[in-house]
């Protein structure tokens, strides 16, 4: 591999990552004004000590599903970038294809888990995302 082709490959990689970074929401948020959070008294938000364990479990489940979906989507994007940068090389194209396939399977699993919780709620009336645990001995 010549120095010119290595340089071209490096420039392709840098430009692909720069494009992803440029269109990310973080770059748009960085352009805005700073927000002063002092003195905000919003009744919709409570201190963490005021939450019940059932609310923490609910929040944890929601956060886990969101993180899993975001990670799967990130792998999907990375696989797409890897495919673009493969440049026709069969091995790299195959690795990218496998990464994209696995990311799509991961997204399907996350969305299936989310759908199953709604089916359980519809059939049995148990809402896992708004779990209410009663104290033992109370009805």
3 in any annotated domain: no
Residue 79 belongs to domain spanning: 47-130
Is residue 69 in a domain? Answer: yes
More confident residue, 27 or 85: 85
Q: What pLDDT is recorded for position 98?
A: 94
Is 5 contained in some domain?
no
pLDDT at 35: 54
The CA–CA distances, whole Å, from 68 to 82, 114, 118 equal 21, 11, 18
Q: Answer whether residue 2 shows pLDDT above 80.
A: no
What torsion do the CA atoms of 43, 129, 110, 25 make, to the nearest 10 degrees?
A: -10
Q: How big is the chain by its Cα radius of gyration, in Å?
A: 23
Q: Classify residue 139: in a domain, yes or no.
A: no
Q: Is residue 78 part of a domain?
A: yes
* Residue of 79, 72, 66 whose CA lies nearest to 104: 72
Domain tally for the chain?
1
- Whether 73 shows a pLDDT value over 80: the answer reads yes
Neighbours of 72 (CB within 10 A): 20
Confidence band of 78 (pLDDT split at 50, 70, 90):
very high
pTM: 0.57
With respect to residue 26, please indicate whether it lies within any of the assigned structural domains: no
Query: Mean pLDDT throughout 14-39?
Result: 59
Residue 30 lies in a domain: no
- What is the overall mean pLDDT for the chain? 77
> In this predicted model, which residue has the larger pLDDT, 6 or 120?
120
What lies within 8 Å, CB to CB, of 20 at 6+ separation is 77, 81
Q: Quick check: is 36 in a domain?
A: no
């Amino acid at each position: 591999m010549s120095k010119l082709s290595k340089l071209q490959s490096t420039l392709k990689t840098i430009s692909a990552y720069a494009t992803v970074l440029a269109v990310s929401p973080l770059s748009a948020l960085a352009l805005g004004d700073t927000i002063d959070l002092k003195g905000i008294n919003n009744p919709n938000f409570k201190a963490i000590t005021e939450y019940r364990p059932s609310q923490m479990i609910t929040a944890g489940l929601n956060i886990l599903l969101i993180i899993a979906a975001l990670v799967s989507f990130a792998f999907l994007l990375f696989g797409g970038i890897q495919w673009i940068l493969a440049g026709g090389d069969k091995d790299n194209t195959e690795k990218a294809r496998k990464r994209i396939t696995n990311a799509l399977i991961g997204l399907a699993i996350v969305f299936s888990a989310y759908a199953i919780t709604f089916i359980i709620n519809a059939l049995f009336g148990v809402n896992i995302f708004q779990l209410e645990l009663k104290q033992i001995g109370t009805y």
